[in-house]
Each structure stands twice: as C-alpha cells, then as structure tokens.
Amino acid sequence: MDTPDIHTPVLLERCIELLAPALEHDGAVVVDATEGMGGHSEALLSRFPGVRLIGLDRDTDALRLAGARLSPFGDRVSLVHTVYDGIARAVADCGVRRVDGILFDLGVSSLQLDEADRGFAYSRDAPLDMRMDQTAGTTAAEIVATYSEGNLRRIFERYGEEKLAGRYARAIVDARSRAPLTRSGELVDLLVSATPAAVQRERSGHPAKRVFQALRIEVNAELAVLERTMPDALDLLRVGGRIVVMSYQSLEDRLVKRVFADAAKSTAPSGLPVELPEHAPRFRLLTKGAELASEEERARNPRATPVRLRAAERVREAS
C-alpha cells in the first residue's frame, strides 16, 4: 500500500504554522498523538531537522505503515502502540519529561475508512467491527447484538445526536430477534428501511451516518478517552509549548473548546483588585474560535470538510 496516495493530511500547512514557534530549536520534542499513516509527522520531521517525534496510535496497521514512511528519519522517531490517553506514560517511557508540541487529529483515520473490512464506512459492506485497535475491545456487532433498546437509543442520541434514535433502536432489537446483524450492509439496509421517506427527502446526509458515528464512538470510547487525555496533554507542555487539536464532530470540538477555555482563563476570585501571578491563565488561545478548512482544501481533500481546528500555547507553569 502506497501511503502517500491514500493519505492527504488535513490542514497540514496550518498545523505546521501553529506549531513552528515551539519547534524551531534543536532538541524540541513533538508528540503526534494520532499518528495514523504519518503524513503530519513526516512533514514536521522534514521541516524541523532538530525535532524528535513521539508518535502514538492504537491501530497496529497504522503504526506499521507510519514506521515504513518515517524510517528515513531514524532514531528521531519513536512510535508507541497506545490509545492517546496513555500519552503521559508513553512520553515518560521515551525518556522525556516535557514536550514542545502536541498534535491531535481526532476521529477515524483515512486508513480505517479506506480499509473496507474494518466496518467504519456505511458505504461499504463489511463485518461490523469498527475497532481502531483490532487487537482488543468490543466490536460494533457485539454492541448491536447485546445492548438493550434503551442503551442503543442512549448512544445514538448522545454520540450521534440522532433524532430518530428510538426508532432505530427498536428496529435493531426487532431485527436481531430474527437473525444477528453482523455486517455493515445489513445495518445500513435496516436503518434506511426504518427511516420515513419524508425524512430521507429532507435530510442532507445518509440515514446511517449518525448511527455509525455513534457506534464508532462507543466501540472506541472516544469521548471518554479524549476527556481523560486533554489534562495530561496540557500538563506535558513546557512554557512556550503548543498544542493543536483537529476535531471532526461537534461533541469532540465542544469538549476541546471547554478544556482550552478553562486553561486560558484566570482563576482569580471575583472582586480581587489585582490579579496575583498564581491566578494568571496557564495558556493563551492561538485561534479565534474553531478554524475551518478553506474551500480550496475541501475541494482537494473532502475529508477536511468537517474539521474544526483549535490551538493553544502554554504561557506559565502551574502554581
């Protein structure tokens, strides 16, 4: 598989621009917390010859491909098989205490979408798997087979923001009583048939889109992992260090927005006439709201269409 042909890094130049001030000195360390196939990492290593990179991914296939792609950089690269909530341990195991830059490119990767047998894409029939780490965990098929109607409805509402969550949950429970749902194509057909024709005409997206998103988030515990990860990632940054996060759905972006906003506000009690140094914000925001991909990039790389980018810089140590 030729990784450059199947992977176009999203917002590559903007990520480099935001991280550059923290990475321009020799000995800088950057963490690519969502290594994928190594497109962002390759660019960072090429642009900043004094940088060491620590790359994390839960997907062993991604690490294998990234390892081949980044092999010309030799010992400047350390790749670690871990979910990104293991970022603090991974960095410590690499002999590093603080880092200068961190990049998160959240959500499902190009590799996972393009490999049909992973079951992430509702446009391709495949086993209902959806695990980012295929060495461990519960599959989407197991969730569809075992969750109660109430729990299915809950994850469709919470993680998919699906208005027809109840209808879809009932349809799944009814269908599985007759035969197990083990393939993505079977689930797609069921969801389409359970969607009223009027709703299908009104909706801009596929009826299965939000349910598949919800199942993927549940399988991989994506929001829980992200919520655990963000405080550790911020703590790893040295003063002057920068973090860039790209999200692809609103639940992730809201979480990142909240964490960044909390880190960038004063902790001084209201009414204090002068802000004491220990109450000053630890971070400053580098983006005004969430940045979007340009129309040109969206046309060139459709997977950049939903991206929301936020970035922050550490400006002082914790008290």
Cite the annotated binding site for S-adenosyl-L-methionine by residue number.
38-40, 57, 84, 105, 112
The contacts of residue 143 (CB under 8 Å, 6+ apart) are 152, 155, 215, 218, 219
Task: Please state, in angstroms and rounded to a whole number, the distance separating the CA atoms of residues 221 and 199.
Answer: 29
Q: What is the DSSP letter of 97?
A: S
Which residues sit in the known binding site? 38-40, 57, 84, 105, 112
C-alpha Rg value of the chain to the nearest Å: 21
Q: For residue 7, which amino acid is it?
A: H
Residue carrying the six token digits 């389409």:
192
Contacts of 211 (CB under 8 A, 6+ apart): 156, 160, 162, 168, 187, 191
Helix, strand, coil proportions of the chain in percent (round to 5)?
A: 50, 15, 35
In order, the DSSP letters of 271-303 are T-SS--GGGS-SEEESSSS-B---HHHHHH-GG
Antiparallel, parallel or unpaired: β 77-81 and 52-57: parallel
Q: Are 76 and 55 in contact (CB under 8 A)?
A: no
**Cβ atoms of residues 105 and 35 within 8 Å:** no
What b-and-e string marks burial along 197-231, b requiring 16 or more CB atoms within 10 Å of the CB?
Answer: eeeeeeeeebbbbbbbbbbbbbbbebbebbbebbe
Separation of alpha carbons 228 and 233, rounded Å:
9
Alpha carbons 92 and 285: distance in angstroms, whole number:
26
Residues 198, 139: contact at Cβ < 8 Å? no
Report the distance separating Cα 108 and Cα 307, nearest Å: 12
